[in-house]
Amino acid sequence: MPASERIPPGSLTVPDRLGLLARGELTVRGQVREASNAVLLCSVAYEGREAECVYKPVAGERPLWDFPDGTLARREVAAYEVSEATGWGLVPPTVLRDGPYGPGMVQLWIEGDPSASLLALVDGEDPGDGWKAVGLAQVAEDRTALLVHADDVRLRRLAVLDAVINNGDRKGGHLLPAADGRLYAIDHGVTFHVDDKLRTLLWGWAGEPLPEEALEVLAALEASLAPGARLATRLAELLTAAEVTAVRERVAALRASGRHPEPSGRWPAIPWPPV
């Protein structure tokens, strides 16, 4: 059998990457031990091509009090499907498939650019140009600092996506700015709940009018979520009927308000730990 050629993620089309992830042979190379659920680093090889990926088996999911057991992998795939429907490509290619430890989510590995700075702690009340204030963070027993994120169109798009998918756990470590200038976001298992669960570090635009681009994307999403439309049909394979209905309602509410959502006040708006 000829050796596989390792393929840089950006050199394949989306269908090629999905085919590689869905049909390739998975080989476990390691484990992310600090993750709350089982996260396995793998290589995937198919028809002479090879790439790195992450495999999260359903069997390795820790039970959550507010989400049904064994559903996180499907929610990760659903987040990818919604991201693709926006046209923003914020979530790496993600599939649901069988693997060495049973069915689970498999996602293309994205190497983040360590030199990119999207989050910061600053003294004072004014974060300065190019930054949006999130809130105060306790950084020592005797000092607090302002938690800020970059005033970046890529993050603003992600804030809209998170509002649509009802992301309950948008942390700084889930942001992967790539060397090619693209931004990717990972870890979408805690999403699509029927109740408002939005918790995020991207509150900098809270209450501000949505950009025209976002309103156009939301209009397209609303059409694609109509019963029988492509995205609605795909989400129905991954989520409950009530959860799909809740997605429609969130999109409609965002369009009606024309503004970025604000914290509900029913629970902490920022996930902990924030990174």
pLDDT of residue 4: 52
pLDDT tens digits for range 60-95? 999 999 999 999 999 999 999 999 999 999 999 999
Q: CA 37 to CA 63: how far, in whole Å? A: 9
pLDDT of residue 124: 75
Q: Average pLDDT in the 138-144 region?
A: 71
Lowest mean pLDDT among 14-28, 35-49, 133-147, 236-250: 133-147
Helix, strand, coil percent content, the chain, rounded in steps of 5? 30, 25, 45
Q: Average pLDDT in the 238-244 region?
A: 98
Cβ(273)–Cβ(171) below 8 Å: yes
Over its C-alpha atoms, the chain yields an Rg (Å, rounded) of: 19
Q: CA 152 to CA 176: how far, in whole Å? A: 14
What stretches of 33-149 show up as alpha helix (H) in DSSP? 72-86
pLDDT tens digits for range 168-204? 999 999 999 998 899 999 999 999 999 999 999 999 9
Cα 11 to Cα 3, 14, 50, 52, 114, distances in angstroms: 19, 10, 12, 13, 21
Cβ(208)–Cβ(132) below 8 Å: no
pLDDT tens digits for range 13-44? 888 999 999 999 999 999 988 888 899 999 99
pTM of the model: 0.93
Amino acid at 234: R
Contacts 24+ apart (CB under 8 A), 91-94: 91/184, 91/185, 91/186, 91/188, 92/9, 92/184, 92/186, 93/14, 93/17, 93/18, 93/21, 94/21
Highest mean pLDDT among 65-69, 124-128, 142-146, 239-243: 239-243
8 pLDDT above the threshold of 70? no
Within 10 A of 255 (CB to CB), how many other CB atoms are there? Answer: 15
